[in-house]
Structure 1
Amino acid sequence: MGGVGRGRRGRAARGRRATGRRPVDEQDRAALQELLRAYGPVGQEDEVREVARRRLEPSVDRCWQDPAGNVVGLVRGTDPDAPAVRVTAHLDELSMLVKRVEPDGSLHVTPLGTMYPGNFGLGPVAVLGDGRHLPGVLALGSEHTTQETPRVWQTKPDGGDQALDWTHVSVFTGRSPADLADAGVGPGTRVCVDRSKRGLFDVGGFVGSYFLDDRAAVAALLRAARELRGGTRPRADTYLVLSVAEEIGGVGASYACRTLPGDLVVALEVGPAEAEYGTSVHGGPVVGYSDAAGVYDKRVADRLCAAARARGVVAQPAVLGAFESDASHATAAGLSARAGLLCLPTLSTHGYEVMPATAVTDVAAVLVEFLRQPAEREGPV
């Protein structure tokens, strides 16, 4: 695999890398916190899209929303002959979808994206009705029950010992079905983790929150846009795509790759920090060489690792499984000729996620260095 030698050196160097070497930028932190607090379930990304567009627009030459719902920002390059590059970070978040309203006013929900009730934890949620948002509680039931309450008993270690699943939980609303209907709540309504659980949590030199996937990557893209517009511009015209519906198959980015110029797409993502992949949350950005949906362009991955070295960051090359991105979805569908993947190293992906406090700064620095390199013009390997 490309970059294996660098990977061995990188693993040896991780212990020497000071997590807080780069100062945490307060503008980045403020942007990330605002993005985290904004709701953005698949198919209803309006709130987070507005935050992201407002923050992106001053840093690009042109900004618009495409028919798929993506926010696209263009930063003009210095080489008019260089092929355009698309960079994506997705706006949407994992959430729940109302399947039915029960007679007692509770909501039976199913996942919108790949996760389980334990990823979210029992507690407050927001029910995004068409008329208004309502509070709710993701609930299981009393542990002080027997087999007469099978929904709970099945999950007890001294009972059925099953993993908690969506058939076991419901959303308590405290409302009647008529009240819910008046608020525009019914099948298809999105239910999100409540804002009260979406604040940044500092732990040593790291930060934790729900939905760092992919709001931290969006924050990194916003920082990169500021650097590119304010300093040395990219070599090629660069389309910064804040995409929708990544969690259900990279729908927005695939549309963007079909309609925007260029043959390369680079996805910014959270990257699993696991021994299985030789990656650590104590290390630098994760560079993907392949994932479950396909193989990333080796030259692009190698260039990303080189860009990290040029910025004094130790990249972590990885061959990923059970992972897909906007970029691998687009290439798998034949909508982009080449793809790259640059990730913020993250613990507990699709759960309460943790990453280095400097991850946004590091990934933005690597991306900017990559985009300022001479454009590739050679053919396929």
Structure 2
Amino acid sequence: MTYRALLQELLYAYGPCGQEDAVRDICLRELGPVADETWVDPAGNVVGLFRGGDGPAVRVMAHMDELSMLVKRIDPDGTLHLTPLGTMYPANFGLGPVAVLGRRETLCGVLALGSEHTTQESARIWRTKPDQGDKALDWPDVYVSTGRDADSLRQAGVGPGTRVCVERSKRTLVDIGDYLGSYFMDDRAAITALLDAARHVREPGALPGDVYLVFTTNEEIGGLGGTYASQALPGDLTVALEVGPTEPEYDTTVDGGPVVAYSDAVGVYDKPIADTLMTVADDLGLNPQAAVLGAFESDASHAKASGAAARSGLLCIPTLSTHGYEVIAPSAIPAISSVVAAFLQTAPAQ
């Protein structure tokens, strides 16, 4: 399977926080033939062990969950009211079709604001119009209609706590000039890169120490799966793979090389690890981009901040419009894969 085909399969798989089953199945299928051992831990993370020499163990992570929504309450007429799972607003995904993942049935609904052909009498809509109330669109302003009444929704297993995702029709890879666009490159592009790296580190004797590739749960709501795995698995070092913002404030560009973070909103990454990632990418001719990130968090920074990891690193796919409709260069995934493979073969934990 080409990396593009795998990426598309991952994008189509729904993976809201705490319900990453479809993505987990793909990761297990791809990891099984190349890892020495695979398992699912108590936090729901997929773990692949690649045995190496006597050196320190290293953990590399990419998260399976995606930005999504949670049903907060249901009106008697079946209207669903939502709260976000992860940091985003309705405008990040736009109004349109959503998948409501009921316990017994998955339903198609529409995320809606209501008619623009309204006056101040429709206060909820009026206040969000730029030429009227001029208030930013937020979750209390929108709702989901499924065409079902409350009783029918209950029969489908829909209620408070039901996950709601952007519907599959909006998750198709699109060629945008020389780039690729879709929702949820975060973190499906990084998963694709990590699975590709797994195929390059499987040769016996290639690794100085054991390597644990971890596909984590609940990253978007605090790095919960990655923190658990960092505490439970051997080793002192956790490295996260992510999408990385490409904005003038960070001096990063979508057509540049891999982004190596030296800090984010949670804490400072370990300089020797970041320096090694920069050197490895430089040696591969990939022109890495060093960055000091704000308003950004990762499995690795959460693990270090909580004391579950002694050291941390972050390697990112340069991405336009993170937490929105995300755009990457097609070469970015194999570039990150090659950096990960080379990094793991250079005894980075020494």
- The alignment's TM-score, normalised by the length of structure 1, stands at 0.90
For 2:158, give the aligned amino acid: V
Q: Determine the C-alpha separation between the residues in 2 that align with 1:375 and 1:275.
A: 30
Aligned equivalents of 2:316, 2:229: Cα separation in 1: 20
**Which residue type is aligned with residue 145 of structure 1?**
T
- Find 1:86's aligned residue among 47, 59, 70: 59
User: 2:299 & 2:282 partners in 1: Cα distance?
Assistant: 25
Partner-residue secondary structure (3-state), 1:84: strand
Residue 179 of structure 1 aligns with which residue? 152
Find 1:238's aligned residue among 211, 217, 224.
211
Residue type matched to 2:107 in 1? L
Whether contact under 8 Å (1:310, 1:369) holds in the other structure is no
Deviation readout 1:318-359 (Å, 9 max, x if unpaired): 000000100000000001000000000011111110111111
Q: Which residue of 300, 313, 321 maps to 2:294?
A: 321
| Structure-1 residue corresponding to 2:46 | 71
Give 2:102's aligned residue: 129
User: What is residue 342 of structure 1 aligned with on the other side?
Assistant: 315
1:187 is paired with a residue whose SS is coil
Partner of 2:18: 43
Q: Which residue of 2 aligns with 1:31?
A: 6
1:205 shift after superposition = 1.8
User: In the TM superposition, what whole-angstrom CA distance separates every residue of 1:204-235 from its partner, at most 9, and x where no partner exists?
Assistant: 22111111000100000000001111587222
1:375 CA displacement: 4.4
Residue 162 of structure 1: which of 125, 131, 135 is its match? Answer: 135
SS of alignment partner, residue 201 of structure 2: helix
Which residue number in structure 1 is paired with residue 117 of structure 2? 144
- The residue type equivalent to 1:59 in the other structure is V
In structure 2, give the amino acid aligned to 1:138: L
SS at match of 2:188: helix
Distance in 2 between residues matched to 1:76 and 1:157, nearest whole Å: 58
Q: Distance in 1 between matches of 2:162 and 2:18?
A: 10
Amino acid at match of 2:22: E
Q: Structure 1 158/375 Cα, relative in aligned 2: closer, same or farther at 3 Å?
A: closer
Q: Is the 8 A contact 1:92 1:244 kept in 2?
A: yes
Structural mapping, 1:293-372, within 5 Å: 293-372=266-345
| Alignment partner of 2:194 out of 203, 215, 221 | 221
| Equivalent residue, structure 1, for 2:88 | 115
Deviation at 1:40, TM superposition (A): 0.4
Tell me which amino acid in the other structure corresponds to 2:32.
E
Structure 1 runs (4+) deviating above 4 angstroms are none
CA contact 2:273–2:348 (8 Å) conserved in 1: no
**Number of residue-to-residue matches in the alignment:** 350
Which of 171, 175, 178 aligns to 1:205? It is 178
Deviation, structure 1 residue 376: 3.9
1:98 paired to 2:67? no
Distance verdict in 2 for CA 1:127–1:50, change over 3 Å: same
| Aligned partners of 1:28 and 1:219 also within 8 Å | yes
Instruction: Quote the residue 2:35 is aligned against.
Output: 60
Q: Is the 8 A contact 1:106 1:170 kept in 2?
A: yes
Amino acid at match of 1:218: I
SS of the residue corresponding to residue 368 of structure 1 reads helix
Q: C-alpha distance in 2, partners of 1:27/1:73?
A: 21
Does the 8 A contact of 1:234 with 1:368 survive in 2? no
Counterparts of 2:206 and 2:98, CA distance in 1: 42
TM-score (norm 2): 0.98
Give structure 1 stretches of 5+ with no counterpart.
1-25
Q: Deviations over 1:31-88 (max 9, x none)?
A: 11111000000011111111111111111111000000000001111x21x1100000
Q: Is the 8 A contact 2:276 2:348 kept in 1?
A: no
For structure 2, the 5+ residue unaligned runs are none
Match of 1:41, SS? coil
